[in-house]
Amino acid sequence: MVQSTRPLNRGSVLAEVFRTAPTSRKQIAEATGISTATVTRAVDTLILEGVLREGSEVVSEHRGRRAVLLHVVAGRSYVVGIDLGASNTRIIVADLLATPVLALDVPTPSALNAIELAEWLAAEVRTASGTNWRLVGAICLGLPGAVSRIDRSVSNAPHLPQVEDERFLQSFEAAVGMTVMTDNDANLALLGEQRFGAARTSPTAAILTLGTGLGAGIAIDGKVLQGDRGLVGEFGQLPVGPLGTKLEHMLTGPGILRRAAEAGVELVDPAELFAGNHGSGTEALRAHFDHALLIALTAITVSCEPKTIVLGGGIAKSLTSSLDRYQTTLEHNLRMSPKLVPAVLGDYSGAVGAVVAGLHTVYAGLGIHEQSLAHLPVSQTVTPDSIRSARGLAPRDAGA
């Protein structure tokens, strides 16, 4: 039986338009190797479906003939990317080309039970989407724990245990009326930084997020690794401290404050540990932190030899001036080191990655083939400034 080439042609044409728009039928044919007549038939169908539209005419190089430029109808569909954290929740609503139309940063009401938290989050998503809600084609939710690919169960989420309750996801999906994609928040943060941020040129890369919790994600050849139980990258579970203290407890905000209290050192905020005006007690705490961080960075490096390790999260903001020192130590110990860089997208890395994952689902539904998704979306509009603008803040707003 001969398989129809129409779906293959449609997917190739659509992927090329999403990659290079505005573009012409002739340019698509030249880039894909598909005949102009076949490209025209696929384009005409996509125009009828409202996926593409014709724009202005441009003069071609040959005999002054004019070519009609094709554009993606970006407002045809929207996606919602969510990064649900123990302290804060970030939400981005983006169009079909990944342009953020709204970004939201709200405190997470972590005292709510699983069902209440799900209903709160659904209300926030609906409100954020506004009049675009009926056009939302996908929702992707990043969670602070290990997410199983087998049954979507969540484990290792001590700072927001409600998400481990199966009723949380069930209630959230019932409230939004659709199946929701889920993944670990660090995995999505890495996806965001690889597509639009600090790891854009690094197919093999990793991220380490340090905040209320510790998260890590690993990508090899552009693909973020996910184990069946979601435990890939859970380096925070390593028992490296005295009496088996987990690495997470030595590097996170709550862990820093707890260890300071045990040592009789007064810290109101974890950031004070990195302020530079250390007393003797603080110096010892900082040395312990640096040792634990080097264990984490070493574990990541030997696991996949990434070209880049992105550091994100609230604690990482205090480490920017120390990255060269950590990198030098890694080079001394391992005879090589990844480039250590701060997250370009800041607190929104996870929400941006969730947008990318959601768009991949929408693109696949339109007919774009899986092998093309690794290079999409290619929007130049996902930047810290565009996210600030979507929050209604001035580009230079220091509070963003």
pLDDT score for 288:
92
pLDDT score for 58:
63
Same fold, 6-72 and 199-343: no
Query: The sheet that has 88-95: what strands, in order across it?
Result: 100-107, 88-95, 78-84, 136-143, 181-184
Neighbours of 400 (CB within 10 A): 18
Neighbours of 173 (CB within 10 A): 17
- Which CATH code for domain 199-343? 3.30.420.40
pLDDT score for 279:
65
Neighbours of 363 (CB within 10 A): 24
How would CATH label the architecture of 6-72?
Orthogonal Bundle (1.10)
Average pLDDT, 10 consecutive residues per value, the chain (400 residues): 66 95 95 94 95 79 70 97 96 97 96 98 97 97 94 93 97 98 97 96 96 93 89 86 85 92 89 78 90 96 96 94 96 95 96 98 95 90 92 54
Cβ proximity of 101 and 95 under 8 Å: yes
Q: Would you list the domain boundaries of the chain? A: 6-72, 76-189+347-390, 199-343
pLDDT score for 87:
93
The first and second tokens of residue 40, run together, are 């025209």
Q: Is 83 left (phi over 0), alpha (psi -120 to 50) or beta?
A: beta
Write out the H or E segment, with its range, that includes residue 186.
Answer: helix 185-196
Cβ proximity of 382 and 98 under 8 Å: yes
Burial class (CB within 10 angstroms; exposed 0-12, middle 13-18, buried 19+) of 307: middle
Q: Is the dihedral of CA 27, 29, 33, 39 positive or negative?
A: positive
Angle, in degrees to the nearest 10, between helices 253-262 and 280-304: 140
Task: Say which CATH class 76-189+347-390 falls into.
Answer: alpha beta
Q: What gap in Å lies between CA 141 and CA 83, rounded to an integer?
A: 6
pLDDT score for 393:
66
pLDDT score for 3:
45
